[in-house]
A and B are shown apart, each in its own frame.
Chain A
Amino acid sequence: MRKNSPPNDSQLNEDEAPLSTPRRDFLARSGLMGAVAAISPMLLASSKSEASLLLSDSVIRDVFNAMTLDTFAGVSAFVLPGNDWHSISQGHFNLKKGAKAANTQQFLLDNLDNYLPWPKDIAGPILSEVARVFSNAAKPIPFGLALVLKPLETLILNKLDEYMDRLIDGSQTVPLGHVFSLILNVTATLVNPLAIGGSHLAPFSRLSFSEKAEVFKRLETGEPDLSELISLNLNEAQSEMFPTLMATFSRTLIQLTAFGALSEWHALDQTTRELTVRPIGWDLTQYLPNGNVEGWDDFLGYYQDRSQVDA
């Protein structure tokens, strides 16, 4: 339990209890440490007790949200690039608006967190297993940041860890957006270890276009060593399910991105369900040039004038 009064020693000790290595490595590797510093810059000049207060539940939630949104901005730029910074920095862009301008990252977050029910008895073990497997090759956080955050590292990791526990245990279903983003970011650092630091918040967004494709390839095809490792610790049903989940996850993400980006979502007032502006996807695809219609003047008669047929 966390309170708003300054923590006493025993609480601090609790905060600093060392994490199990796999979970800790996973969290460090996910880029969340860097995100914490970016979201809460005051942390860099804080003592441990101040830091413990700063890292309230809502800050940690903001960290996860910001990280997830940035990851999904990277996915948006990958699927339907435009003239935004995420597209430019991946080295694959164009002069028109893309999925990011259509706020597809928020679309993904909303849908995956709120509507795709992934029961916790599935998500829990799988997520722990992902953490274990992906963290095999430990990696340092970027040198500069590591130096500054080092004294707070355990505290921060523990806070993140608690939040993850709540993600898994707190409700009937797990907010999948966060889970997807963690998986993408950890895989990103396996594809390119340098992605642990750089211009965007999320390691995935720091990858080049072809490196992003490599992330999806790994998830979609299931690396042989990955599935071997997995089968060691999951029960039979879970290990049977794991490669499918990863493949489904990567395909779903790509598919939902394309669907959301070219739909009316970002332009629709969710309360009135009327358009506020013309959807970007409609412009990109020259769909409904004059807005929605109740019908088209496309009736050309009947093929060979046959308007009915016999048995």
Chain B
Amino acid sequence: MRDVIIIGAGGGGPIVAKELAAQGLDVLMLEAGARNKTPETNWKHFENDANNPLSGYLRFGPSDRSKPSWYREVTQPAMISNLSGVGGTTQHYFGNSPRAMPGVFKGYQGDDAQDYDRDFEFPFSYEELTPYYEWVEATLPVQTAAMGTSEQVFFNGCENIGMSVQVTKDTFQDGYRAQQNAVLQPSGNAGRTTNKSDLTYPLAKGCTFCGHCTQGCYEPLNAPRNLKARRSTDNSYVPMALTADLWAVQGKAVTLVADAYVTQIHTQQINGKTTATGVSWRDVNTGEIMTENAKVVVMAGGCIENPRLWLNSGLPNSHDWVGRGLTDHAFDFVCGIFPFNTDSSKGVGSSARADFPGKGCIEPSSLGPAGLASNLMMSDSGIRGMYDNGRGVFGEWDGPSGRLIGNEFKNFMSDVNKTMGMLIITDDDVEANNRVEPSSLMSDEHGAVPKMTIHKRTRSQRTLDNREFLANKAASILRAAGASEVLRIDIVPLLLHLQSSMRMGDDPQNSVINANGEAHEVAGLFVADNSALSNALGGPNPTLTTQALATRTSEKIMVQYFSGTPWVNSNEPMSSIDDAITQAVLARGL
């Protein structure tokens, strides 16, 4: 019997794994997808090879690429962009690590308190989470992003519309700034040359500006796994978890099993309470079913799979809130074309941002041509000039919203380095009818597949207004930065950021887990990924907050189930790039 079993090795799971392994617990982490042990030889800087959602090496599917991806039913057009594999969706995330808006936490007293989704706030204060932010920021580590050409263009735009610069991590007013990124910043030759032989570690350290975050980070070449530039969990927390015995005083290395799809959480009635006792998983390659027991089970399969697993396991759901309240930041995409170089296919996925408390955020994004084209095509407003699908919205951009097609599209794409795409990341409301449930129509070898209902046009008025505000703001910034043409795509739900489908709250009537991260209705069952978040955080990219919360949840598990004491306020965090970790990683051959 294990101390703890963690389901899912994505943005959240490895945080709990590393923290509890460092405390000496016996931890088993199960991951449905592949373990990419040698990205430097297996991954490439090719967009289709990596990111084709059906067949790429980064997709939500089995590690065997000749097999189809795993299906999800959507009740409305949407594009799901999460991944399986050790590192989960962080394998192609941008590493943007802003803290949440303080306004979404309990007890917030700012003048703008009513601008947020007050009905679904976090059940504790922002100040309480701050030490956990600091701990994670030091561990990953999170650093202020360097500037490249595209950031300079974006900053010019922000300056020209009179915005103020934000010089803190905490966000209390509108402002623009360099991102706080979970990316090692360039040193040595990194960012200063295109010459391959000068870009190997240790000649180059940190981000080489290659422009391929979305294809998975393996730069700089020859760097030990924990010194790869982008701090996806496969490069940061997972190496720490797998070597905890080598660097933590009483640490015990985590057991990681990939290609292991958990299909059942087992429970028993203990002391009159439904209590988690273990899990069964299916070996994705052989079909074999395995079972292990544990004192504590942690769900970290992400916002889509957690509700599926919960409900397929027949766990209690008295208030019908499992899978509900899903937030997705109601993304949009606004894109400009410039008469000068923006170099937008270079550098980190995003290194700059603008935040608008109570409304959301905007960030420029660096993409290759296929990724950019794909975003440009995702419109809910039909084809510009041909049909508008009942939308075709006007604003600060040129003409109606919609996708380009034919020669117009080809002309727009004629120089990818003269474009700049801006992601609109809306502070969206928790709404019960945005949800994940098991499909009644389809199942696969892991049970009924998840069915997702993501409303776009019928979100709360606040959500819709916020999205419009941000789209207009993005268009203004692009124009002030010198764009000669600005398009608004009005995309269908693009599910990069998913939050709150197993939300944390005090009230079991509208939440699944309590303020400690433990299920209201199942003892010993915790949730520690994006689905645990209480709300959409006010718009900031979610992973850092998930990781801070998962750190806090790890302490709660240790105290409540293993008679431990909290450590975040009393210890110094070990950075994942500390030499002790590098030595441990090399010693273990990771």
Q: Which residue of A lies closest to B492 (CB)?
A: A251
B416→A213 contact, CB < 8 A:
no
> A109 CA to B28 CA in the complex, in Å?
41
User: Contact between A258 and B373 (Cβ–Cβ < 8 Å)?
Assistant: yes
Known contacts being A122-B441, A306-B178, is A262 close to B185, with CB within 8 Å? Answer: no
Minimum CB–CB distance from A151 to chain B (whole Å) comes to: 41
Q: Check A115 against B69 for contact (C-beta < 8 Å).
A: yes
Q: Using A78-B406, A241-B75 as known contacts, say yes or no to A284 and B414 having CB atoms under 8 A apart.
A: yes
Q: Is the CB of A302 within 8 A of B144?
A: yes
Residue of A117, A213, A261 contacting most chain B CB atoms (<10 Å): A117
B415 & A286 in contact (Cβ 8 Å cutoff): yes
Contact A117 B208 (CB under 8 A): no
Q: Is A16 an interface residue (CB 8 A)?
A: no
**In the complex, chain A residues 253-310 whose Cβ is within 8 Å of any chain B Cβ:** 254-255, 258-265, 268, 273, 281-282, 284-288, 290, 292-304, 306-310
- CB proximity of B216 to chain A, nearest CB, Å: 14
Interface range on chain A: under 10, 10 to 19, 20 to 34, or 35 or more? Answer: 35 or more
From B74, B152, B191, B382, give the contact of A217 (CB < 8 A). Answer: B382
Cα A308 to Cα B377 in complex, Å, equals: 37
Interface centre among A259, A295, A309 (most CB of B within 10 A): A295
Q: Which of A173, A260, A265 contacts B68 (CB 8 A)?
A: A173
Q: Does B387 lie at the interface of the complex (its beta carbon under 8 Å from any beta carbon of A)? A: yes
Report which residue of B54, B169, B382, B492 has the largest number of chain A beta carbons within 10 angstroms of its beta carbon. Answer: B54
> Is B490 on the interface with A (CB-CB < 8 A)?
no
From B15-23, B287-295, B340-348, the one touching the partner chain is B340-348
Q: Report chain B residues within 8 Å CB of A251.
A: 77, 377-378, 492
**Is B417 touching A286 in the complex (CB atoms < 8 A)?**
yes
Interfacial chain B residues near A303, Cβ < 8 Å: 147, 151-152, 155, 165, 177-178, 352
Known A-B contacts A115-B54, A117-B69, A293-B194; A262 and B165 likewise in contact (beta carbons under 8 Å): no
B316 to chain A minimum Cβ distance, whole angstroms, is 25
A112–B148 CA distance with the chains assembled, in angstroms: 38
Query: Of residues 117 to 153 in A, which have CB atoms within 8 Å of B's CB atoms?
Result: 117-119, 121-122
In the bound complex, residues from chain A placing their C-beta under 8 Å from that of B563 are none
Known: A264-B47, A286-B416, A299-B192. A244 touches B386 (CB 8 A): no
Q: A213: which B residues are within 8 A, CB to CB?
A: 383, 386-387, 405
State whether the Cβ of B196 lies closer than 8 Å to any Cβ in chain A.
yes
Inter-chain contacts of B189 with A (CB < 8 A): 295
Say whether B47 contacts A294, CB under 8 Å. no
Q: Is the beta-carbon distance between B343 and A262 smaller than 8 angstroms? A: no
Task: Bin the interface of chain B by size.
Answer: 35 or more
A296 near B168 (CB under 8 angstroms)? Answer: no
Interface string of B351-385 (1 = CB under 8 A from A): 01000000000000000111101101110001100
> Complex Cα distance A73/B519, Å?
52
Known contacts A81-B406, A259-B370, A287-B369: A302-B178 contact under CB 8 Å = yes
Chain A 79-91, CB-CB to B under 8 Å as 1, else 0, gives 1110000000000
Which of chain B's residues have a CB closer than 8 A to the CB of A210?
Answer: 386
Q: Once the chains are docked, how many angstroms separate the CA of A310 from the CA of B167?
A: 7
- Say yes or no: is B55 at the interface (Cβ < 8 Å to chain A): yes
- Scoring B residues 421 to 447 as 1 if CB is less than 8 Å from chain A, else 0, what string do you get? 000000000000000000011101000
Q: What would 11 more interface pairs be, CB under 8 Å, given A221-B390, A311-B169?
A: A115-B54, A121-B441, A210-B386, A248-B78, A254-B405, A262-B373, A287-B417, A295-B219, A298-B347, A300-B146, A302-B147
User: Which 9 A/B pairs are nearest by Cβ-Cβ distance?
Assistant: A299-B191, A295-B208, A115-B54, A263-B48, A263-B370, A285-B369, A258-B373, A117-B68, A298-B148
Can you offer 6 A-B residue contacts whose CB atoms are under 8 A? Answer: A80-B406, A216-B387, A258-B373, A286-B414, A298-B148, A307-B146
Q: Which residues of A contact B (CB under 8 A)?
A: 78-81, 92, 94, 96, 98, 107, 111-112, 114-119, 121-122, 173, 209-210, 213, 216-217, 220-221, 237-238, 240-241, 244, 247-248, 251, 254-255, 258-265, 268, 273, 281-282, 284-288, 290, 292-304, 306-311
Taking Cβ atoms with an 8 Å cutoff, the residues of B that contact A are: 44-49, 52, 54-55, 68-71, 73-79, 130, 134, 143-144, 146-149, 151-152, 155, 165, 167-170, 177-178, 180, 185-186, 189-194, 196, 199, 204, 208-211, 219-221, 343, 345-347, 352, 368-371, 373-374, 376-378, 382-383, 386-387, 389-390, 403, 405-407, 409-410, 413-417, 440-442, 444, 492
